[in-house]
Amino acid sequence: MTITFSIEQLAEVAQQILDQNPNKVILFNGDMGVGKTTLIKQLCKTLGVNDATSSPTFSLVNEYQTDNNQTVYHFDFYRLNKETEALDMGVDDYLYSGNWCFIEWSEKIANLIPQQHTEIIIELLPNGERLLELK
């Protein structure tokens, strides 16, 4: 699935992504500042997370509960230096939990990603819109 969208269409885009029944481990790839965290926040809201969401840049992972008791984990591995740091925090337990796992900077843990995952690639277009590819 490929979508071109503006930030104002983010809620519709999040619903379209979820309507595709993606794997619960989703990798978000794109340049810094392209809107990965913003999209993840909207996906959390669409799933029914009512708490405030933020980037886990310093904590590496944030945990949220949806209004129907699903758990959502949001990872940001930008500050990770090596995969063993992710293993030390128990990343395997998260990734194989069956819960939603939204992962930014997944290339930092490339060897730890489950085979069954979905990838979202976001690109900023010259006109300010985003191009999203769901694989």
Domain, as residue range, for 11: 2-134
How many Cβ atoms sit within 10 Å of the Cβ of residue 39? 25
CATH number, residue 79: 3.40.50.300
pLDDT above 90 coverage of the chain, percent: 93
Q: How confident is the model at residue 131 (pLDDT cuts 50, 70, 90)?
A: very high
The pLDDT tens digits for 26-80 are: 999 999 999 999 999 999 999 999 988 888 876 789 999 999 999 999 999 999 9
* Secondary structure letter of residue 21 according to DSSP: -
Give the model's pLDDT for residue 1. 95
Instruction: Tell me the C-alpha distance between 37 and 118, whole Å.
Output: 16
What is the number of domains present in the chain?
Answer: 1
Give the model's pLDDT for residue 66. 96
The 130-134 sheet, strands edge to edge: 2-5, 130-134, 118-124, 25-29, 100-104, 71-76, 61-65
Structural contact between residues 14 and 39, judged by C-beta atoms closer than 8 angstroms:
yes
Give the model's pLDDT for residue 117. 98
The pLDDT tens digits for 102-125 are: 999 999 999 999 999 999 999 999
Which residue type is seen at 110?
A
Give the model's pLDDT for residue 123. 97
Which residue type is seen at 24?
K
Structural contact between residues 76 and 104, judged by C-beta atoms closer than 8 angstroms:
yes
